[in-house]
């Protein structure tokens, strides 16, 4: 099949699923609805595999012209290259697993067909985002995923207890994303102004041909793009929406708020690498924002008691890690972590979903414990996920994290030291989560214990596949000291087939340092494992109650009071300003001023006293009469002229 046709099909399939389920899904049996939604994404995945196989440089597929604006033509055109195909594989691959999982997870939900309609729409938007060959199509998808995210976070808006919180979380996510979007918008305006096009390749080529375009403009453009990235990828200062977004059903957290949408900011930066390379100052900012985010979020995760909140802060922290890599210009390293993170974070979220499903919607780990025996498959896979993210040797997370640490050590040892702290915290909160959930005694009461069950096949199968990927994902990009020939496959793949990317920015440390780094990282991860085993796995070990926590624990549990600070600094002033402008300025001054003026005019004319008989019809009469007289006079007058 021709490549352009394949690409169109990949895009069209989720759209077809969206349209069918959105229109007649309510009347179809659930199996058909879920089956259709899952299979369109899965077939798209298979098609993406054929693209991957036949990958040969960069290919542009132009569909139609959207708008011709002042000599600027905006096309709906798409790009097949190593980067876009890789992202497509992640989106459709993990996407179809999560669709399958949802068929079990959402089986009792009355909004079943709606859920799959939104999921398919999300996949479509996300594919637009990564497949577009210009920033406009990217922006299309960018806004589209934001909308889907809103719909899915607030999916259970009718829930009796949590409905209000769910819809508020959705609103918060949408608004914070919109702040980032405004940044993207301005960035695109500047790009249009500078280059007269939004096509990635044309901008890149123009930059190579005309290095004079560097400088201040590039700084502003890249800063705007990075603001957009902080919104979608939940970085400081726009990160607070992501933990709240856990209000959405768990498959949504896995797909959108861990594996795909939140990596859009990373994708945008990698895609725009030729711009960022010309703006070293922006890269510096990215580095420090990423560093701060990874540290702060890891700290917040230490004392969360909601199983999904721990994972959410962990996601923010891991995304920060990826931005650190981007700050060093190690684009392929960041994308490698995107990939492995997608595997193990989707696994962890689906695992937590399986736990929540089995626990009948309980999310508080203080009420769990000892689930290892009750849910053996979930337990085993969750353990793998935990080990992968904690950096236990030879699992996928070990390799991708090690690459980032190596970059840091090479460029800036201080950054490396801070990263080690963050990585250690990651291992701590993850093992705390794991042991409190699966070991010790069950703390949820006998009634609940009797009902806890392992999930069905449609839920465990995707988890098993993801566990497999989490174990072996590291093989994609083995470090050079293991297998020289097969090493760095992923780096080669991406940089050979993506515009602007090359491996020169990746630091390659010497043999001894590399080995030393790995051993050091392994010792940390394993050390934390044994420490947590001693501390949390004991029978009866329990997360502390709120009033027993020390100062730092309270700070972590209360997320450093960031939400409260934002409320005080931004939300309340805006509301106060709105009330003030509306009540005082608009009504008191402007509107009443007009009344006063009108009354003044009416009253000064003594004659009008008797006209003021309070009947509007008489005002109307005089007014219309006046107009008619005026108009007839002029019609007559001009008719006489001619």
Give residues in contact with another protein (CB under 8 A): 65-70, 125, 136, 139-141, 143-144, 147, 150, 154, 157-158, 163-164, 167-168, 171, 174-175, 178-179, 181-182, 185-186, 188-190, 192-193, 574-575, 577-579, 581-582, 586, 590-591, 594-595, 598, 601, 614, 616-617, 619-620, 623-624, 627, 630-631, 634-635, 638-639, 642
Q: Which is nearer to another protein, 109 or 362 (CB)?
A: 109
In the complex, the smallest distance separating the C-beta of residue 130 from another protein, rounded to whole angstroms, is: 15
Compare residues 482 and 621 and give the one whose CB is closer to another protein. Answer: 621
Residue 69 Cβ vs another protein, minimum distance, rounded to whole Å? 5
Residue number, 417 or 590, with CB nearest to another protein: 590
Alpha-carbon span 597 to 633, nearest angstrom: 30
Give the nearest distance from C-beta 214 to another protein in angstroms. Answer: 19
Shortest CB 282 distance to another protein, Å: 18
Tokens 């909160």 sit at which residue? Answer: 429
Q: How far is the CB of 174 from another protein (least distance, A)?
A: 6
3-state class (DSSP) for residue 234: coil
Could you tell me the smallest distance in angstroms from the CB atom of residue 595 to another protein?
A: 6
Instruction: Give the CA angle between residues 429, 565, 415 to the nearest 5°.
Output: 50
Which residue's CB is nearer to another protein, number 234 or number 469? 234
| CB-nearer residue toward another protein: 568 or 579 | 579
CB nearer to another protein: give 530 or 630.
Answer: 630
DSSP per-residue string spanning 252-274: HHHIIIIISGGGHHHHHHHHTHH
What is the enclosing helix (H) or strand (E) of 507? none
d(C-alpha 273, C-alpha 498), whole Å = 10
What 3-state DSSP class applies to 75?
strand
Angle at 154 between CA 152 and CA 155, to 5 degrees: 60
How many Å apart are CA 303 and CA 559, to the nearest integer? Answer: 9
Is 519 or 581 the residue whose CB approaches another protein more closely?
Answer: 581
Question: Which candidate, 328, 274, 334, 336, places its Cα nearest to that of 505?
Answer: 328
Minimum Å distance from CB 593 to another protein? 8
Closest CB to another protein among 136 and 239? 136
Residues 6+ apart with CB under 8 A from 464: 377, 381
d(CA 248, CA 562): 21
**Which is nearest to 298 in space by CA: 205, 208, 424?**
424
Question: Residue 178 or residue 558: which is nearer to another protein going by CB?
Answer: 178
Using a 10 angstrom Cβ sphere, with 0-12 exposed, 13-18 middle and 19 or more buried, the burial of residue 3 is middle
Q: From the CB of 436, what's the least distance to another protein, in Å?
A: 34
Q: Encode burial over 490-507: b for 16+ CB neighbours within 10 A, e otherwise.
A: bbebbbebbbbbebebbb
Q: How far is the CB of 185 from another protein (least distance, A)?
A: 6
**What angle (nearest 5°) sits at the alpha carbon of residue 103, between those of residues 97 and 108?**
150
Closer residue to another protein, CB minimum distance, 531 or 633: 633
How far apart are CB 244 and another protein at their closest, in Å?
14
H helices of 78-154, where? 82-105, 112-131, 135-153
The separation between the first and the last C-alpha atoms of the chain, rounded to the nearest angstrom, is 73
Report, in Å, the least distance between residue 333 CB and another protein: 32
Token representation of residue 51: 């693209």
CB of 370 to another protein, least distance (A): 37
Contact residues for 439 (Cβ-Cβ < 8 A; gap 6+): 369, 370, 372, 536, 537
Token pair, residue 308, equals 């999904």
Which CA distances in Å does 9 have to 36, 72, 92, 179, 477? 15, 28, 13, 33, 30
Least distance from C-beta 639 to another protein, angstroms? 6
Of 182 and 448, CB closest to another protein: 182
67: tokens are 């708008």
Question: For residue 132, what is the DSSP state?
Answer: B
Give the bridge partners for 77, in sequence order. 62
Q: How far is the CB of 574 from another protein (least distance, A)?
A: 7
Structure tokens at 268: 């945008």
d(CA 116, CA 17): 8
Min separation Cβ 635 and another protein, Å:
6
Tell me which residue has tokens 């007269």. Answer: 196
Nearest residue (CB) to another protein, 511 versus 641: 641
Assigned token pair, 634: 């002029």
Return the number of the residue (504 or 640) whose C-beta is nearest another protein. Answer: 640
User: Which residue lies nearer to another protein by CB, 237 or 456?
Assistant: 237
Give the residue with the Cβ less far from another protein, 552 or 622.
622
The whole-angstrom separation of Cα 340 and Cα 427 is: 16
Q: Is the peptide bond before 125 cis (omega within 30 degrees of 0)?
A: no
Min. distance of Cβ 28 from another protein in angstroms? 17
Instruction: Please list the residues that pair with 61 across neighbouring strands.
Output: 78
Cβ neighbours of residue 514 under 8 Å, at least 6 residues apart? Answer: 406, 479, 480, 481
Q: Which two tokens stand for residue 511?
A: 């043999």
Cβ nearer to another protein, comparing 421 with 615: 615
């Amino acid at each position: 099949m021709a490549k352009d046709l394949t690409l169109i099909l990949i895009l069209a399939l989720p759209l077809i699923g969206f349209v069918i389920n959105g229109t007649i899904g309510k009347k179809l049996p659930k199996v058909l609805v879920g089956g259709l939604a899952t299979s369109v994404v899965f077939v798209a995945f298979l098609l993406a595999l054929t693209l991957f196989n036949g990958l040969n440089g960069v290919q542009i597929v132009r569909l139609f012209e959207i708008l011709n604006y002042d000599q600027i033509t905006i096309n709906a055109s798409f790009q097949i290259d190593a980067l876009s195909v890789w992202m497509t594989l992640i989106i459709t691959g993990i996407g179809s697993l999560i669709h399958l999982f949802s068929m079990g997870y959402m089986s009792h939900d009355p909004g079943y067909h709606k859920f799959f309609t939104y999921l398919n729409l999300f996949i479509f938007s996300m594919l637009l985002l990564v497949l577009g060959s210009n920033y406009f199509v990217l922006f299309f998808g960018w806004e589209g995923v934001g909308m889907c995210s809103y719909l899915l976070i607030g999916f259970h808006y009718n829930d009796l207890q949590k409905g209000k919180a769910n819809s508020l979380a959705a609103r918060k996510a949408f608004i914070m994303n919109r702040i980032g979007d405004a940044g993207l918008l301005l960035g695109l305006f500047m790009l249009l102004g500078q280059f007269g096009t939004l096509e990635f390749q044309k901008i890149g080529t123009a930059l190579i041909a005309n290095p004079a375009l560097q400088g201040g403009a590039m700084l502003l453009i890249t800063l705007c793009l990075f603001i957009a990235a902080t919104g979608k990828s939940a970085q400081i200062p726009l990160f607070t929406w992501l933990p709240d977004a856990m209000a959405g059903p768990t498959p949504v957290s896995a797909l959108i708020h861990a594996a795909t949408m939140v990596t859009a900011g990373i994708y945008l930066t990698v895609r725009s690498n030729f711009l960022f390379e010309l703006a070293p100052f922006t890269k510096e900012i990215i580095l420090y924002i990423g560093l701060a985010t990874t540290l702060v979020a890891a700290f917040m995760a230490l004392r969360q008691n909601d199983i999904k909140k721990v994972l959410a802060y962990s996601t923010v922290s891991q995304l920060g890690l990826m931005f650190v890599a981007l700050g060093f210009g190690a684009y392929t390293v960041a994308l490698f972590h995107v990939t492995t993170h997608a595997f193990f974070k989707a696994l962890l979220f689906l695992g937590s979903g399986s736990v929540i499903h089995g626990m009948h919607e309980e999310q508080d780990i203080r009420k769990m414990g000892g689930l290892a025996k009750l849910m053996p498959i979930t337990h085993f896979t969750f353990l793998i996920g935990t080990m992968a993210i904690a950096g236990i040797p030879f699992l996928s997370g070990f390799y991708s994290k090690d690459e980032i640490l190596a970059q840091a050590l090479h460029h800036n040892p201080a950054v490396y030291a801070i990263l080690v702290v963050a990585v250690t915290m990651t291992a701590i909160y993850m093992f705390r989560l794991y042991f409190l959930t699966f070991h010790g005694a069950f703390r949820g009461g006998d009634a609940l214990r009797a009902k806890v069950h392992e999930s069905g096949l449609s839920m465990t199968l995707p988890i098993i596949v993801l566990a497999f990927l989490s174990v072996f994902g590291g093989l994609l990009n083995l470090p050079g000291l293991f297998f020289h020939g097969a090493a760095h496959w992923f780096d080669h793949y991406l940089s050979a087939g993506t515009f602007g990317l090359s491996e020169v920015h990746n630091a390659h440390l010497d043999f001894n340092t590399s080995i030393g780094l790995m051993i050091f990282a392994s010792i940390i991860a394993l050390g934390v494992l044994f420490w947590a085993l001693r501390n949390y796995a004991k029978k009866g070990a329990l997360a502390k109650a709120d009033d027993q926590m020390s100062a730092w624990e309270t700070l972590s549990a209360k997320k450093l009071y960031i939400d409260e600070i934002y409320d005080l600094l931004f939300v309340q002033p805006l509301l106060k300003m709105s009330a003030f402008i509306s009540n005082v300025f608009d009504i008191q001054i402007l509107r009443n001023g007009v009344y006063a003026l009108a009354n003044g005019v009416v009253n000064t004319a003594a004659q009008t006293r008797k006209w003021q008989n309070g009947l509007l019809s008489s005002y109307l009469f005089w007014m219309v009469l006046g107009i008619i007289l005026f108009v007839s006079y002029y019609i007559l007058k001009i008719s006489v002229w001619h």
